[in-house]
């Protein structure tokens, strides 16, 4: 079963070059319900082709999307908290001791604000960014969060304003993921941390299903592997710290007895449907060789 996606709309589209390396060359393509994705022959990044208009995409995240998020916000919150723990992110910053100052965290694409509120309650000074006005309004009302309505770039936060930036299921929706990562680096303090959760195109399920994969949806503009996302993050000044993947066989899909062993195998092999990657902003003492290498296909 596909993940939730907004209803088809009549939107302007145009061809676009790879947002990772600028190449127009393609070596693979898949079709999925009236749209498709191509893989860059140079860097192996997958992108939706042609590209839907950015302003049209922004209008997709309306009341329907809010209703979807509200129905599942606590499930999503708990799953993301679990993944943060698994990659070693300090969800309880006070547990480290040594300072009385509250560490600052920005949750980009915070949706209803459930995760940001949970991290705030654990000791983070947490704020949010959300492009959907209806979701930002709900997050402010339900959780009392400080949420900027718009994109991270539009927020214009000061340099080094945050100790951590988190973005769950956001980067795959962006027209310019490289610019987003550069902005994350700018607003992070030295040695600040970036955590990204996104579908994993190197998953067992994508290899099996192609265009029928549950994350090959019209709302996802770019599909990453750990390697292709690591390359972009490295160019923006980040060093990889840790990662985890999960999801090998969709719930309810037949034969159901495959779910438990395939989920375990996918997690062990790094081929789960979803990945959580933890990075640190590169410091002046880090060697340039720590940046991730060439894209894996």
Q: What is the DSSP string of 80-135?
A: HHHHHHHTT--SSGGGG-S--SPPEEEEET-TTSHHHHHHHHTT-EEEEEES-HHH
pLDDT of residue 150: 96
Q: Residue 34's Cα: distance from chain center in Å?
A: 24
For 131, residues 6+ apart whose C-beta sits below 8 A from its C-beta are 58, 61, 109, 149, 150, 151
Q: Residue 264's Cα: distance from chain center in Å?
A: 22
Q: Which two tokens mark 34? A: 């009236």
The residues spanned by each domain of the chain are 13-92+102-282
Q: What is the pLDDT of residues 85-119, one digit of tens each?
A: 999 999 998 755 445 578 999 999 999 999 999 99
Rounded CA-CA distance 246/51 in Å is 29
Q: What is the pLDDT of residues 112-157, one digit of tens each?
A: 999 999 999 999 999 999 999 999 999 999 999 999 999 999 999 9
Q: For residue 284, what are the CA distances in angstroms to 188, 190, 238?
A: 14, 9, 12
Domain covering 13-92+102-282, topology: Rossmann fold (3.40.50)
139, exposed or middle or buried, with CB in 10 Å at 0-12, 13-18, 19+? buried
CA atoms within 13 A on the CB side of 293: 2
Rounded CA-CA distance 197/172 in Å is 9
Closest CA to 224 of 145, 292, 290, 156: 292
Which residues of the chain fall below pLDDT 50? 97-98, 288-297
For 203, residues 6+ apart whose C-beta sits below 8 A from its C-beta are 213, 245, 247, 248, 266, 271, 272, 273
pLDDT of residue 247: 92
């Amino acid at each position: 079963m596909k993940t939730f996606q907004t209803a088809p709309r009549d939107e302007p589209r145009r061809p676009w070059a790879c947002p990772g390396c600028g190449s127009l060359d393609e070596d693979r393509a898949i079709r999925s319900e009236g749209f498709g994705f191509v893989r860059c022959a140079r860097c192996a990044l997958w992108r939706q082709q042609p590209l839907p208009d950015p302003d049209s995409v922004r209008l997709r995240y309306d009341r329907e999307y809010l209703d979807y998020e509200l129905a599942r916000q606590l499930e999503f919150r708990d799953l993301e908290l679990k993944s943060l723990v698994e990659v070693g992110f300090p969800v309880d910053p006070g547990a480290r001791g040594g300072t009385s100052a509250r560490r600052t965290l920005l949750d980009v694409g915070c949706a209803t604000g459930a995760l940001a509120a949970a991290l705030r309650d654990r000791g983070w000074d947490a704020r949010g960014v959300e492009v959907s006005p209806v979701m930002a309004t709900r997050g402010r009302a339900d959780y009392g969060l400080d949420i900027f309505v718009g994109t991270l770039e539009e927020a214009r936060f000061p340099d080094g304003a945050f100790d951590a930036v988190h973005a769950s299921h956001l980067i795959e929706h962006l027209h310019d993921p490289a610019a987003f990562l550069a902005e994350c680096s700018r607003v992070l303090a030295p040695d600040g941390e970036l955590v990204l959760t996104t579908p994993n195109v190197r998953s067992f399920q994508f290899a099996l299903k192609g265009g029928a994969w549950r994350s090959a949806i019209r709302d996802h503009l770019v599909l990453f592997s750990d390697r292709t996302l690591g390359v972009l993050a490295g160019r923006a000044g980040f060093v990889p710290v840790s990662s985890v993947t999960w999801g090998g066989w969709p719930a309810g899909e037949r034969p159901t007895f495959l779910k438990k062993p395939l989920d375990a195998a996918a997690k062990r092999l790094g081929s789960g449907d979803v990945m959580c990657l933890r990075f640190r902003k590169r410091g002046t003492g880090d060697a340039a060789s720590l940046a991730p290498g060439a894209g894996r296909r």
